Amino acid sequence: MLEILFLLLPIAAGYGWYMGRRSVRQNQSSQRKKLSRDYFTGLNFLLSNESDKAVDLFITMLDVDDETIDTHLSLGSLFRKRGEVDRAIRVHQNLIARPHLALEQRDLAMMELGKDYLAAGFYDRAEEIFIKLVNQEEHSDEAETELIAIYQITKEWQKAINIIKKLTRKRQQALKAICAHFYCELADETDELNDKKQCLDSALKQDAKSGRALLMLAEFYQISGQFNLCKITLEKLLLADADLFADALNIAKTVYIESQDIDGYVELLRQAASEGAGASITISLAQTMIEKGLTEDAEALVIEGLYRHPTMKSFQHLMNMHLKQAEEGKAKESLMMLEKLVEQQIKYRPGYRCSECGFPSHRLYWHCPSCKNWGSIKRVRGLDGE
C-alpha cells in the first residue's frame, strides 16, 4: 500500500503544478479580457464625444506605480498645455490620493497640481501648494518662480519682493531689474510722498539705470518743487535710457521754464538729440528756437534731422512751419491737406511696440500685456516713430 502511495505522489505534484499554471493563465486571460473590454469602452466614449468618461476610465486602467508615475504626470501636463485644466487637476489629485506614493513622487504631483491651479486661476490654492514646496530643496527654485508669477498677477508686489530677497545672490542679480519695477508699482499705489520716495530709492538701489524709476523720481521732484534735483535726475535718465527721455519732455520743459533757465533747457535738448533720443526731441528744440526768434535755424535743424533720420513727425512739423509762412492760395490749401493726411497717419499708427513679442500700443506699458515682460515696450523707431 505504501509503495502505491509513493508512486502516486509525483503524479499528485504534477497535477497540482498543472492546475496552478492553468489557474494563473485563466487569471491573466481574464485580466487581459477586462483591460481589452475597458480599452474598447474608452474608445467608444471618445468616439461618442464623451471624452470626460474616457479620461476617467483610462486613468482607472493605468495603475499608479513606479513605472507609470511619469505617464500620469505627463498626461496631466499635456491636458494643462491643451487648456483642459480640469482634467489635469483630476489626474494630479488622483495621484496625490494614492496612499503608497513615495514622498518624492508626491512632491512632483503637488508641483504639477499647483501649476494646474495657477492655470485655472485658483491663485490662493496654488500659492498654498508652492509655499509648502519652497522648503523642499529639490523644488524650491521652481516654487519660488511660481510664487513670484502669482504675486505679479495678484499685484502683491511686496510679497514678490520678499520672495526675491530670499533667493540666492545669483538669482537676485538676475531679477534686479524686475524687482525695481515691483518697487515702482508700490510707489504708484501710494499717495504718501515719503513712502513714494522710499520706494523709488529702493528701486534705484536694485537697478541704478532703471529708466522707469528715474522718470518717476523726476516727476516727484517736479511736483514737490525740487527743481535742481529734478534736473539732475533728468540728466541721469538721459544717460541711462535715452529712448525714454521723450516721455520726460513735459517734465523737463515745466521745470526749466519755471526756474527761468531756457538756456539750460536748450542745452539739455541738444544733448538729448546728440544721444539719439528721437524726433520728439528735435521738434521740441526747434519750437524753442522759434520762440527765441530763430525760425531759419529751427527749419534747418528739422531738415537736417529729416536727412539723417526721416520720420513722419518731423515731416509734419516742417509742413507746419511752411504753412505759417505760406501765402494764401491753392499751394497752401494743398499743403494743408497733405499735413492733415500725415497727422492722421501719425494718429493711427502705434507709438510704442514690445521689443520681445511685437505688441503694438498707443501708450507706454511697463508690463507687456502680451508676453508679460517688464520694460520691453519702447517707442517705435523709424518712419512711423522716433
pLDDT of amino acid 132: 92
**How do residues 43-52 score in pLDDT, each as one tens digit?**
454 445 555 6
Q: What is the assigned CATH class of domain 37-154?
A: mainly alpha
* Higher local confidence (pLDDT), 81 or 226: 226
What is the phi/psi pair of residue 136, to 5°?
-90, 120
Contact yes or no for 116/92 (Cβ under 8 A) = yes
Check whether 335 has a pLDDT greater than 50. yes
Check whether 198 has a pLDDT greater than 70. yes
**How do residues 268-326 score in pLDDT, each as one tens digit?**
999 999 888 889 999 999 999 988 888 888 888 988 888 888 888 888 888 888 787 77
Please state the rounded mean pLDDT for residues 145-160. 96
Give domain limits for the chain: 37-154, 278-348, 350-386
The pTM assigned to this predicted structure is: 0.79
**How do residues 155-192 score in pLDDT, each as one tens digit?**
999 999 999 999 989 999 999 999 999 999 999 999 99
